[in-house]
Amino acid sequence: MNYFQKMKGVSQSPPHVSRLEVLLSWLGSFLGIAAIGAMNYVYMGSQENALMIASFAASAVLLFGAPKSPLAQPRNLVGGHLLAAFIGVAFCKIFITQPALAASLAVSTAIAVMHLTRTLHPPAGATALNAVIGGPKVHALGFMYPAIPVAIGVAIMLLVALLFNNAARNRRYPEFWL
Amino acid sequence: MADTSFKACAPVQISDADIFTAMREISGYLDITPSDFKELYLKAYDHALSRLTRVVKVREVMTSNVITAKQEFPLEKVAEIMAVNHISGLPVIDDRGKPLGVISERDFLEVMVGRKSANLMEIIVQCLKGKNCLMAPVRIKLAKDIMTSPAIIVGGDDSVDDVSKLFASKGINRTPVVDSEQRIIGIVTRGDLMKAPVAGGKP
């Protein structure tokens, strides 16, 4: 298969999921994000969105939209986000005057480290990026960022995923822990 | 070369549509494409097949009371041995028992017609047309003249899996089995391999 033939693709998209699955994905992700929002409201006050980062939305896609995926498993969710958060903060500090370089290195290094640790979790790429581009509030957190908001949010999402996905008759979660 | 010995064990030809339908039957989103699944399935099948057949040794499935010929035997005698014993081929060995070659029905057909890949029907046609007596070369030649040599040999401890692959790659149907000093201890045929136990059962 040559270079251009490869670009045509070889297979087809997986099938539609059932209406019930759609509803469950909708409800689960609503509850997951709502739980983080509620924690945020209780502990941080209504105005500050300190606990909510965009990469949790991407994790919700996997945890509630494709809970069987290897990428959605607890090892990947927790390991991926924590490693990526740490790597993101580190590059942000090292290349403080070159944010574009810090951002690129944070994302690419996070992916490489997730591969090496079998914790690949696509949303964590955004967690690494957010450490660099998240603005003064995130920068002020420094190495607290992996703990708050990342670890707190991940823990809440994991808990909701366990409670919700196993309550549905045709779902289970996780496929594996470690 | 066609891998005929494995045809019986070839994995079921599943289509992309089969996989797609199966994926639809599993509730929840599977983040895998049908072609990924097919690739996995075929590879897993190969591994399963070698796991189930690797452990069985040739010694367990071979015929040990092997009927042989010597290289100076006239073909008439070789044919008679094959006829009496109802076998379609035999190894030709030297005085020490070392296999020198193998003679099969195919070698007889070839010497009668005078070229490679001859078949029985050609001989019948020529006989019915009353052309020439195809038996002439058979009367004067010896075992060593028509045997396929050198003999392809296998050891008693070789795996059935490896020997199946050898048969397929060389296009042969039987091979002498030898001990560490190259002396014949048996013969293994495609039929023997077909009867080889799978799934770790006793022969």
Give the one of B23, B27, B34 whose C-beta lies nearest to A21's C-beta: B27
Is A2 within a domain? no
**Residue A10 forms contact with B (CB below 8 Å):** yes
Per-residue pLDDT, averaged over A21-37, amounts to 96
C-beta atoms of A15 and B23 within 8 A:
yes
Alpha carbon distance B15, A42 (integer Å): 54
Is A61 within a domain? yes
Flag whether the ipTM exceeds 0.85. no
Whether A113 and A83 have beta carbons less than 8 Å apart is answered as: yes
The DSSP call for residue B2 is -
Is A3 within a domain? no
User: Which residues, at least 6 apart from B80, have a Cβ–Cβ distance to it below 8 Å?
Assistant: none
C-beta atoms of A68 and B29 within 8 A:
yes
pTM for the complete prediction? 0.62
Is A62 within a domain? yes
- Report the number of distinct structural domains present in chain A: 1
Residue B198 pLDDT more than 70?
A: no
Whether A53 and A150 have beta carbons less than 8 Å apart is answered as: yes
Half-sphere exposure of B168 (CA within 13 A, CB side): 15
- Which CATH architecture best describes the domain B58-194? Roll (3.10)
Q: Please, where are the H alpha helices in chain A?
A: 3-6, 19-44, 55-60, 74-94, 99-116, 122-133, 136-141, 152-167
Whether A130 and A55 have beta carbons less than 8 Å apart is answered as: yes
Cβ neighbours of A56 (radius 10 Å): 24
The helix/strand/coil state of B91 is: strand
Alpha carbon distance B203, B198 (integer Å): 9
Interface test with B, best of A10, A11, A61 (most B CBs within 10 A): A11
b (16+ CB within 10 A) / e for A112-148: ebbeeeebbbbbbbbbbbbbbbbeeebbebeeebbee
Domain of A41, in residue numbers? 19-167
The amino acid occupying position B173 is N
Most confident of the ranges A71-75, B110-114, B163-167, B191-195: A71-75
Give φ, ψ of B78 to 5 degrees. Answer: -60, -45
Is A6 within a domain? no
Q: What is the pLDDT of residue B9?
A: 58
Q: What is the pLDDT of residue A91?
A: 97
Is A45 within a domain? yes
How far A22 CA sits from the closest chain B CA (Å)?
Answer: 9
**Residue A69 forms contact with B (CB below 8 Å):** yes
Summarised one tens digit per residue, pLDDT across range A95-127 is 999 999 999 999 999 999 999 999 999 999 999
Summarised one tens digit per residue, pLDDT across range B19-29 is 889 988 888 88
**Residue A13 forms contact with B (CB below 8 Å):** yes
Is A146 within a domain? yes
Is A177 within a domain? no
